Amino acid sequence: MKNLKRVYAVFIRQVFLLRGNPIRLVNIFLWLSVDLLLWGFISRYLDTLGKATFSFATVLLGAVILNEFLTRVQQGVMTTFLEDVWSRNFLNFFASPLKIKEYVGGMVVSSIFTSAAGFSVMIMIAGLGFGFNILRIGFYLLPFLIILFLFGATLGILAISIILRFGPSAEWIGWPIPFALSPFMGIFYPVSALPHALQAVARAIPASYVFEGMRKILMTGHFSNDLVPMLLVGSGLALIYLVLMYLIFFKVYRYVLKNGLIGRFGAE
C-alpha cells in the first residue's frame, strides 16, 4: 500500500502541474491534432484522385492514430521525468524514501492518463472531421494498444536513461526516438516493402506487428487467425524489452549515483 501511495504521489504531482499551468496541455493535444488533421486532409485528397475505390483514409488515419498513441506514451514517460529536471526537483525525490521502481511506476501511470486523453481526442477528430472510427475494429483494438503502450513505455525509459547518463542536455536525443524507429515499424507501408536486411530490423520491433495487423483488419474487415501469432510475438517482444530497459535504467541510475553524476541535475 505504501508503494502505491508513493507511485500516486509522483502521478498527482503531474496533475497539479497541469492544473497550475494549462499551457502544458499543448504538449498533449496540439501536435497530435495537427498531425491528424494534416493526414486526414491528405487522405481525403488521395481518395479523390482518379475516383479511387480504395479508401486511403481507412488505412492512413488508423496508422496515424496508433502512431501518435505510441509517441504520446513515450513522451508522456519522458516529460514526467523532464518536468522534475526542468524544475530542479529531481534530487528532492531521492532525498525522500522514494524507490526507483516507484518513481518509474509513477511516470508510467502519468503516461497512461496523458496517452488515453490524447487517444480520445484523436478518435473525436477522426470521427467528426473525416468520418473515421478506429473503434470499429472492436475488442481486437485492445491488444494493439497494449503492445504499443508497453513499447512506448520502453522507449520512454530508454530516453530518460540516456538523459540520466549524459545529463539534462541529452534530452534532445530522447525526443526523436520514436521518429527514428518509424521507418522500420511499417506505419504507412508493409514491412515487405523494406529491403531484406531492414525487414529483420522491423521484425525485432513490437510496433511493426501492430501496424501490420491493423492494416489487415481495416482492409479485410475481419480478424483472421494468422494475426494471433503476430500479436503474441509483438506482446512477447514488448514485455522483454520493457523488463530489459528497466534493468538498464536501474543500472544507469546506480552508476550515476555512485560516480556523483546525479549532481548535474541540481546544477544545470
Q: Chunked in runs of 10, what are the mean pLDDT values of the chain (268 residues)?
A: 81 85 79 89 79 68 91 92 84 79 91 92 89 80 93 96 90 91 92 92 95 83 79 95 96 89 69
Which pLDDT value is given to residue 55?
67
Q: Are 38 and 64 in contact (CB under 8 A)?
A: no
Domain boundaries, the chain: 2-266
pTM for the whole structure: 0.91
